[in-house]
Chains A and B, each alone.
Chain A
Amino acid sequence: MADKVLMKGNEAIGEAAIHAGCQCFFGYPITPQTEVAAYMSRRMPKVGRVFLQAESEVAAINMVYGAAGAGVRVMTSSSSPGISLKAEGISYIAGAELPCVIINIVRGGPGLGGIQPAQSDYFQATKGGGHGDYRLVVFAPASVQEMVDLVQDAFDVADKYRNPVMVMGDGMLGQMMEPVEFKERPKKELPEKTWAANGLKGREKHNIINSLFLKPEELEAHNNKLQEKYREIEKNEVRYELYNCDEEMDLVIVSYGTLSRICKNAIKMLKKEGINVGLIRPITLWPYPVEAFDKVIDKTKNGFISVEMSCGQMLEDVQLAVNGRKPVHFYGRSGGMVPTPAEIANKIKGIVGGAK
């Protein structure tokens, strides 16, 4: 047990980033993710790296833009309203094809909203947030251990595709403590950053990093190149978990993050009453695990239910994946309300018609 430590989700994010070789962290405090910045402010100077509390979220994301352009591993972290402020910079970073990691520990919205756990930034994370035709790879861990593993993976994926990666958790995941282990990780073969604006280094031409293309032909060509990259990511980077999906099922829950664990409790409760429910847990919210639906669609009697801490955001991706082949239901709470296993089980009983 010696190698496992108890860590708060927010602190584990910081430590995982350090393990992944994150050289710079730029942030601005906001509940419920402030401990990420607090942890980095203590640890980063000790390992000879840069921690800087910016004067605002807008400043922080533009510092990320700069550091990423210089070719170093860089991360920023915020919570919902702060991510909205960063959205412009994120679009620029995606447009300029720079790798970085962005953490969003989601709180209830819209507006200033509240500070309790929510998943209502799904659209913002997966469908844009900033302007233009761009995509973020979005990881949604369900435990502190998975947070640690995915934050480290996020740096690799970002470097591999020269694309920003977001790791999104709800306030619960940021605040809770669980045992974690920092496993020895195999070294990834990653492309060299020959594009970095970090001095001539014997080259004859400057590297220029830019997202401005005034000629429509050039911008379209750039966009087409980005789209090609996104198709490649869709092909290679989809991650999901199937839980209790081996046999015939009365219904399949689709749920991600901490909430998926509450759904697992509901599945255990229902099993005792003779109702068999499976779970698709998307680990990447983009690219969305469409193939998971194909694997279970013939085994579910009453289709699917998207269970969210939002008002039907992931539901749209579930509908697209199911594409009319089976019914799609919805259950969601919002504003920081966390559904209980019993609540979810009751909703499901209403759909499948009680115990068999």
Chain B
Amino acid sequence: MANQEIIFAGFGGQGILSMGKFLAYAGLEENLNVSWFPSYGPEMRGGTSNCSVILSDEPVGSPLVVDATTVVVMNRPSLDKFESHVVKGGLLIIDSDLVNREPERTDIEIIKIPAQKIAEEVGSKKIANMVLLGALVEKTKIVKMESLLKALKEHGKEQFYELNKRALERGAEFGR
């Protein structure tokens, strides 16, 4: 049974909502039931941002993810807030360039990725989110990489497609 309940979290402006959206589009491409739910509030640039994404072959119940099979964090406050939300045996993906503490959990799988550094090597720090998303898809196999690329092609900005693709590929190495 395919089922992933994911929380993406970080600062506003890091592409947290869009990485969730692309994954949801990829899920739709594969005929999965999907939902995408952003945190909305009196937030501002530089404030925290997160979204819940569910991909499942069963109908989606609550769109708000509480017990996450995977959590992706791109800053320290997000790790503090969501580390406890990973289910036992679940997956935590960390941008180790931005999170300056070690996770405390020992009952989950943890992938640390220097996503800022890698993104810069690929061409832009702005695509660190795609590095992390690449690792997530490779590790969980919730969708095929081709579906994600198709989602990027159809719903992303064309000029960033090649960059995004390379960022996903570099990230995927961490998920193997």
Interface residues of A (CB under 8 A from B): 1, 4, 6, 31-32, 115-116, 171-172, 175-179, 258, 261-262, 264-265, 268, 338, 340-342
Q: Interface digits, B21-36 against A, CB 8 Å rule (1 contact, 0 not)?
A: 1001100110101111
CB distance from B45 to the nearest CB of A (A): 17
CB distance from A305 to the nearest CB of B (A): 17
A6 partner, pick from B28, B38, B40, B60, beta carbons under 8 A: B28
* B36 touching A176, Cβ below 8 Å: yes
* B41 touching A116, Cβ below 8 Å: yes
The interface residues of chain A lying within 8 Å CB-to-CB of B35 are 176-178
CB distance from B109 to the nearest CB of A (A): 23
A171→B64 CA distance, assembly (Å): 12
A32→B41 CA distance, assembly (Å): 9
The interface residues of chain B lying within 8 Å CB-to-CB of A178 are 34-36, 60, 63
B61 within 8 A of A: yes
B37 within 8 A of A: yes
B33, B35, B42, most chain A CB atoms within 10 A: B35
B66 within 8 A of A: yes
B159 within 8 A of A: no
CB distance from B167 to the nearest CB of A (A): 22
Interface size class of B (residues with CB under 8 A): 20 to 34
A265→B31 CA distance, assembly (Å): 21
Interface residues of B (CB under 8 A from A): 21, 24-25, 28-29, 31, 33-38, 40-42, 60-64, 66
Q: Output the nearest chain A residue to B29 by Cβ-Cβ distance.
A: A1
* A115 touching B21, Cβ below 8 Å: no
A31→B39 CA distance, assembly (Å): 13
CB distance from A142 to the nearest CB of B (A): 10
The interface residues of chain A lying within 8 Å CB-to-CB of B63 are 172, 176, 178, 258, 261
B25, B29, B66, most chain A CB atoms within 10 A: B66
A171→B39 CA distance, assembly (Å): 11
Q: Contacts A6-B25, A177-B36, A342-B66 given; 4 further ones with Cβ under 8 A?
A: A6-B34, A6-B36, A172-B64, A261-B62
The interface residues of chain A lying within 8 Å CB-to-CB of B60 are 178, 261
* B37 touching A175, Cβ below 8 Å: yes
Majority-rule SS of A interface residues = mixed
The interface residues of chain A lying within 8 Å CB-to-CB of B24 are 6, 177
B61 partner, pick from A4, A115, A341, A342, beta carbons under 8 A: A341
Q: Output the nearest chain A residue to B41 by Cβ-Cβ distance.
A: A115
The interface residues of chain A lying within 8 Å CB-to-CB of B42 are 115
Give me 20 A-to-B residue pairs in the complex whose CB atoms sit less than 8 angstroms apart, sorted by A's number.
Answer: A1-B29, A1-B31, A4-B28, A115-B41, A172-B37, A172-B63, A176-B35, A176-B37, A176-B38, A177-B24, A177-B35, A177-B36, A178-B34, A179-B34, A258-B62, A261-B62, A265-B62, A338-B62, A340-B66, A341-B61
* B62 touching A341, Cβ below 8 Å: yes
Contact (A177, B40) CB under 8 Å given A6-B34, A258-B63, A264-B61? no
A262 partner, pick from B21, B33, B36, B62, beta carbons under 8 A: B62
Contact (A177, B21) CB under 8 Å given A31-B40, A115-B40? yes
A175 partner, pick from B21, B25, B38, B66, beta carbons under 8 A: B38
Q: Output the nearest chain B residue to A5 by Cβ-Cβ distance.
A: B28
A82→B83 CA distance, assembly (Å): 38
A179→B54 CA distance, assembly (Å): 12
A104→B64 CA distance, assembly (Å): 21
* A261 touching B61, Cβ below 8 Å: yes
A116→B35 CA distance, assembly (Å): 18
The interface residues of chain B lying within 8 Å CB-to-CB of A172 are 37, 63-64
Counting from the closest, the 10 A-B pairs by CB-CB distance are A265-B61, A177-B36, A262-B62, A176-B37, A261-B61, A176-B63, A340-B66, A178-B35, A264-B61, A179-B28
A1→B28 CA distance, assembly (Å): 8
The interface residues of chain B lying within 8 Å CB-to-CB of A261 are 60-63
CB distance from A10 to the nearest CB of B (A): 11
A77→B54 CA distance, assembly (Å): 28
The interface residues of chain B lying within 8 Å CB-to-CB of A342 are 66
Q: Output the nearest chain A residue to B63 by Cβ-Cβ distance.
A: A176
CB distance from A307 to the nearest CB of B (A): 12
A232→B40 CA distance, assembly (Å): 41
The interface residues of chain B lying within 8 Å CB-to-CB of A177 are 21, 24, 35-37
The interface residues of chain B lying within 8 Å CB-to-CB of A1 are 28-29, 31
A1→B26 CA distance, assembly (Å): 12
* B40 touching A171, Cβ below 8 Å: yes
A338→B39 CA distance, assembly (Å): 13
A333→B40 CA distance, assembly (Å): 19
The interface residues of chain B lying within 8 Å CB-to-CB of A175 are 37-38, 40
Q: Output the nearest chain A residue to B25 by Cβ-Cβ distance.
A: A6
